[in-house]
Amino acid sequence: MTPLQQFIRDTIEQGGPITFERFMELCLYHPSLGYYTSGRQRIGARGDYYTAPYASSILSMVLTEQIAQFFDLLGRPAPFHIVEVGAGSGRMADDILESMLRWHGDVYDAARYVIVEKQEGITVGHPGKIEVRGDLSGIEPFTGCIISNELFDALPVHLVVMGRGLYEVYVAFRGGRFEEVLMPAGDELAGHLDSIGVRLSEGVRTEVNLGARRLIGAMASSVRHGYVLTIDYGYTSEEYYSPSRTSGTLVCYHGHRVDDDPYELAGEKDITSHVDFTSLAKWGREFALDTVGYVRQRDFVLSLGYDDLLMRIKKIVGDPVDYYRLTSASKFLVMPEAMGDVFKVLLQYRGDGQPPVPAGFARRSSVL
């Protein structure tokens, strides 16, 4: 039994079964034993998975092009805030600022980059340009943008099962092991599904991410005038809760292997679920964030001049081997069977009037 499993067992024995959302929260974010807070290696060959910024700096370069356009569309403010929520190691922040310094010096000069990350001990470059914070609280409302990559998929989710009514999954500890028990779901869960027009069929087991609403609210409170850009894997509500998807999307990652058992090795492997982008857009509107566009990552990257970017890089990197190493992994950003179609990009806006559609959303954009 892992130290975290012991802690969760004691918690259940003292207070009774806990919701799966609480179980997942402890697994991922316990202050010292959680998957994201324990300091263990999570990303890369020695970790459990790869993310796009870790595999290649190309996504950061693409984001730099879009952020530079945000700067122009917002009237070239100084300071121009860039807030990255769930920044992990800070690699994407470093890469974005490096690209900005090389190709958009005016934006770099005006930029104030804020990393929001619970993980401690982040080391970043660009002294005086990057601030590291534990959460969004205390940030004065600003003009600029909030960006995130693979953030919302890491939020704890409620598990629900449709029987004769809607039930929520709770976690008990019996016979030396964690065991699921079903209890009638509360009004908030049922009410949310009703609000997005979802009617689950009997036997369906799926997730509801109510924590995303709280995070969207915190983001909206931080932005006085600007954009919120979200990159993650997910679906519209219609796709997420399709009758053909009867087992939800929850999966675990450990040692670059995928499984569906969140109770084994609690605290030592990632637990994740896909994102319901329809709900993100709906909750955003509740907090005065208008939806500007929603596109596949492939269309977002190609619309921002992916091919031109590769040519620019080729002129800078003289060694063909170095060029290959830098750019080969970026193909996964646009390949339909890889990240290109699975990952989506949502753009929301807070401000007066309707803003122009930025370049990354000009290709086949749809509004949720």
The DSSP string of 19-30 is: EHHHHHHHHHH-
Note the pLDDT of residue 45: 44
Q: Is 196 exposed, middle or buried (0-12, 13-18, 19+ CB in 10 A)?
A: middle
Q: Which of the four pLDDT bands, split at 50, 70 and 90, describes residue 365?
A: low
d(CA 28, CA 270): 7
Note the pLDDT of residue 367: 66
- Which tens digit of pLDDT belongs to each residue from 57-115? 889 999 999 999 999 999 999 999 999 999 888 889 999 999 999 999 999 999 999 99
Place of tokens 């982040």: 122
Q: Is the pLDDT of residue 50 over 70?
A: no
Angle at 351 between CA 345 and CA 355, to 5 degrees: 60
Does a structural domain hold residue 335? yes
Tokens linked to 159: 């598990």
Does a structural domain hold residue 65? yes
Query: Hey, which residues does 206 pair with through a beta bridge?
Result: 160
- Which tens digit of pLDDT belongs to each residue from 132-180? 999 999 899 999 999 999 999 999 999 999 999 999 999 999 999 999 9
Phi-psi region of 320 (alpha: psi -120 to 50; beta: other; left: phi over 0): alpha
How many residues belong to the chain? Answer: 368
Q: Is the pLDDT of residue 359 over 90?
A: yes
Tokens linked to 82: 């860039």
> What does DSSP say about strands 142-149 and 223-235: parallel, antiparallel, or unpaired?
parallel
Query: Hey, which residues does 113 pair with through a beta bridge?
Result: 82, 130
Does a structural domain hold residue 310? yes
- Which tens digit of pLDDT belongs to each residue from 218-237? 999 999 999 999 999 999 99
Nearest to 241 by CA among 195, 287, 187, 188: 195
Q: Which of the four pLDDT bands, split at 50, 70 and 90, describes residue 44?
A: very low
Query: Hey, which residues does 223 pair with through a beta bridge?
Result: 142
> What does DSSP say about strands 251-254 and 257-259: parallel, antiparallel, or unpaired?
antiparallel
Higher local confidence (pLDDT), 204 or 324? 204
Residue 147 belongs to what domain range?
52-153+213-250+296-361
Note the pLDDT of residue 40: 65
Place of tokens 């100084």: 78
Does a structural domain hold residue 224? yes
Does a structural domain hold residue 60? yes
Give, in order, the Cα–Cα distances in Å from 149 to each of 91, 251, 297.
Answer: 12, 18, 11
Give, in order, the Cα–Cα distances in Å from 28 to each of 36, 201, 260, 270.
Answer: 5, 30, 16, 7
Specify the pTM: 0.93
Q: Is the pLDDT of residue 298 over 60?
A: yes
Note the pLDDT of residue 364: 65
Does a structural domain hold residue 58? yes
Note the pLDDT of residue 127: 78
Taking residues 359-366, report their average pLDDT.
80
- Residue 1 burial (CB count, 10 A): 12
Does a structural domain hold residue 93? yes
Nearest to 151 by CA among 58, 268, 57, 277: 277
Residues 130-150 as b/e (b if ≥16 CB within 10 A, e otherwise) read bebbeebeebeebbbbbbbbb
Question: 3-state SS of the chain: helix, strand, coil percent to 5?
Answer: 40, 25, 35
- Residue 103 burial (CB count, 10 A): 15
Question: Which domain CATH number covers 318?
Answer: 3.40.50.12710
- Residue 177 burial (CB count, 10 A): 12
Q: Number of folded domains in the chain?
A: 1
